[in-house]
Amino acid sequence: MSEYSQPLHPIEKKILKTLSSLEEVEIQELAKLSILSIDQVRRGVEWLKAKDLITVKENENEFYSLGEEGQRIIKTGLPERRLVNAVKKSGSSEEITKVSRELESEFAAALGIAKKNRWVRVDRNRLYLEKEHENREPEEDLLEKIAGLGRISRADIPPEELQTISSLTKRREGLIKETKEKTFRLALTQKGRSISSDAVADEIDEITPEILITGGWESRPLRAIDVTSPSPAVHAGRRHPMREFMDEVRETFLSLGFEEIYGPLSQTALWNFDALFIPQQHPAREMQDTFYLSKLKARLDDYADEIRAIRSAHEQGAGTGSRGWRYEWSVEEASRVVLRTHTTAITISYLAEKKPDEARVFSVGRVFRNEKSNYKHNPEFYQIEGVTVGEKVNVRNLLYLMTKFYSKLGFNEIKFWPTFFPYTEPSLQTMAYLEKSGRWMELGGMGVFRPEVTLPLGVKNPVLAWGLSLDRLVMLRYEINDIRQLFGANIGWLRKLKLM
Ligand code: PHE
């Protein structure tokens, strides 16, 4: 059913099949030809009409059949024929009076017609047979035809015979009976014709025990029902594996007594860089690393105190025990707006606002870096971020927490390596071992925030901080080699993926 996708009922198919070999057909006739009951045909015709596959022309039609007189005449012949037969019986000539007695009142008319037809010739009261009597009259043929068919529709009578009908009707009452009837003639529409060829195929419409036992389905096309075809797949809606995993991460932190914090995707440089003691000349701030929303400038009026303290930390390390970065800090630079390059911006603005002595918070979110996309880098990815603030917390607690977190998610083979971040001391990174490639894969960074970070914001206690890659964990779990797989819309892969 190329063009027409709606499935057809077996009755509809039978009707289409029958109609495909006919120009037009009357509904009764269709029932006979398609071996359906008249009721089935009527129902099917309604459906097909609604689908614009067939049209039904209703018109009134006249039918001709033999009247009582006609029935009699078909046995005896028309009077002129009887006259000829009588003449034939008595040799080639006959006394007119003898024949006239036989034909009674019909004689005069019969003689007139027989003479006109040149069947007989009259000579001094005698009738002579002419050779032309062997020609048949159109009237005779038509009567026989009607007798044979029982009745004949005016629509089916050729024009030359219509003439004959009317002369027979006029000739004598009861010869021809005329009746009027409504008829419904069916024909395929353009659309119906285009799909009927499919319907004509000898399809199996329903599977019966016979078909299965005899294997009839092997030799006949199984368009409607293909018992050998696989059943259609049903795909229930599901969440993206990234989303699933994010929720698992959330639950893991919640189960460890953490609270989730949130923040916007765009951030001022103040929170994304400056509050983290990242010097304003640091390469990470360059355009080729960071997406700037260059038309925007933030108003930092509300943070006058923090700004004073941050400037002082950058310029001379005031009150932190270090000498700072030794340059002139610019508030202009701090008011630029970026797409956050790490979720640490959320952590730090939380610390600035709450100045907690104790805290356990985490966040999960998207971050952006101006990097070329390849199998292990994507300009946008997700981070799992958090801090523990407390009077007595230390690096050991951080390592324990991280190990616990990873093992809860099913990653047992991880280790820690020293590294550098401008905002932590000490600084560490987590690595996971990849059996397959025999390599260590970096999962994220962590450390204890430097006093240059915490003191300007009024946080007195040590802060353990981490920022981990979510995407790499998903890649490990689902054995994905290309990070871009997670950001595409590869439905086939998503459907097949088993949740773990
Ligand atoms: N922000 C760092 C990154 O994006 C990770 C980190 C967070 C490191 C917190 C130390 C402390 O890689």
Which position has the higher pLDDT, 198 or 121? 121
pLDDT for position 230 = 64
pLDDT for position 5 = 54
What distance in Å separates the CA atoms of residue 238 and residue 17, rounded to the nearest whole number? 44
pLDDT for position 205 = 60
Range 131-147 burial, b when 16+ CB lie within 10 A, else e: eebeeebebbebbeebe
> Does residue 388 line the site of ligand 1, with CB under 6 A?
no
Rg, Å, the chain Cα set: 51
**Nearest atom in ligand 1 to 341's CA:** 4
Nearest CA to ligand 1 atom 12: 445
* Mean of the per-residue pLDDT values of the chain: 87
- What is the mean predicted confidence (pLDDT) over 304-325? 91
Amino acid letter, 72: R
> Does residue 344 line the site of ligand 1, with CB under 6 A?
yes
d(CA 247, ligand 1 centre) in Å? 21
Q: How do beta strands 259-260 and 359-368 pair?
A: parallel
pLDDT for position 209 = 76
What distance in Å separates the CA atoms of residue 250 and residue 260, rounded to the nearest whole number? 8
pLDDT for position 23 = 85
> Does residue 468 line the site of ligand 1, with CB under 6 A?
no
> Does residue 451 line the site of ligand 1, with CB under 6 A?
no
Task: Give the pLDDT confidence of 167-178 residue by residue, as tens digits.
Answer: 888 888 888 999
Which position has the higher pLDDT, 295 or 223? 295
Residue among 277, 289, 338, 344 to mutate when testing ligand 1 (max atoms within 8 A of CB): 344
Amino acid letter, 376: K
Reported confidence tier of residue 219, pLDDT bands at 50, 70, 90: low
| Dihedral sign (CA 360, 365, 371, 372) | positive
**Portion of the chain with pLDDT greater than 90, in percent:** 45
> Does residue 347 line the site of ligand 1, with CB under 6 A?
no
Beta bridge partners, 21, equal none
Hunting for tokens 């970065």 — which residue is that? 325
Between 100-109, 182-191, 216-225, the lowest mean confidence (pLDDT) is in 216-225
pLDDT for position 305 = 94
- What is the token pair recorded at 401? 């927490």
Residue among 368, 421, 449 to mutate when testing ligand 1 (max atoms within 8 A of CB): 421
**Nearest atom in ligand 1 to 466's CA:** 9
> Does residue 365 line the site of ligand 1, with CB under 6 A?
no
Between 69-78, 188-197, 204-213, 224-233, the lowest mean confidence (pLDDT) is in 224-233
pLDDT for position 451 = 95
Reported confidence tier of residue 2, pLDDT bands at 50, 70, 90: very low
* Residue 57 clears pLDDT 80, i.e. is over it: yes
> Which residues, at least 6 apart from 457, have a Cβ–Cβ distance to it below 8 Å?
275, 306, 309, 348, 351, 352, 355
What phi-psi label fits residue 326: left (phi over 0), alpha (psi between -120 and 50 degrees) or beta? left
* Residue 218 clears pLDDT 70, i.e. is over it: no
Task: Give the pLDDT confidence of 130-158 residue by residue, as tens digits.
Answer: 888 888 888 888 998 999 888 888 888 88
Reported confidence tier of residue 341, pLDDT bands at 50, 70, 90: very high
* Residue 236 clears pLDDT 70, i.e. is over it: yes
Reported confidence tier of residue 220, pLDDT bands at 50, 70, 90: low
pLDDT for position 463 = 98
State in Å, rounded, how far the first CA of the chain is from the last one.
42
d(CA 487, ligand 1 centre) in Å? 23
Task: Give the pLDDT confidence of 375-432 residue by residue, as tens digits.
Answer: 878 899 999 999 999 999 999 999 999 999 999 998 888 999 999 999 999 999 999 8
Residue 340: closest CA among 283, 393, 299, 383: 383
- What is the mean predicted confidence (pLDDT) over 192-213? 69
Neighbours of 287 (CB within 10 A): 9
Reported confidence tier of residue 439, pLDDT bands at 50, 70, 90: confident
* Residue 328 clears pLDDT 70, i.e. is over it: yes
3-state secondary structure 398-452: HHHHHHHHHHHCCCCCEEEEECCCCCEEEEEEEEEEECCCCEEEEEEEEEEECHH
pLDDT for position 1 = 39
pLDDT for position 329 = 97
pLDDT for position 65 = 92
pLDDT for position 287 = 81
| Model pTM score | 0.57
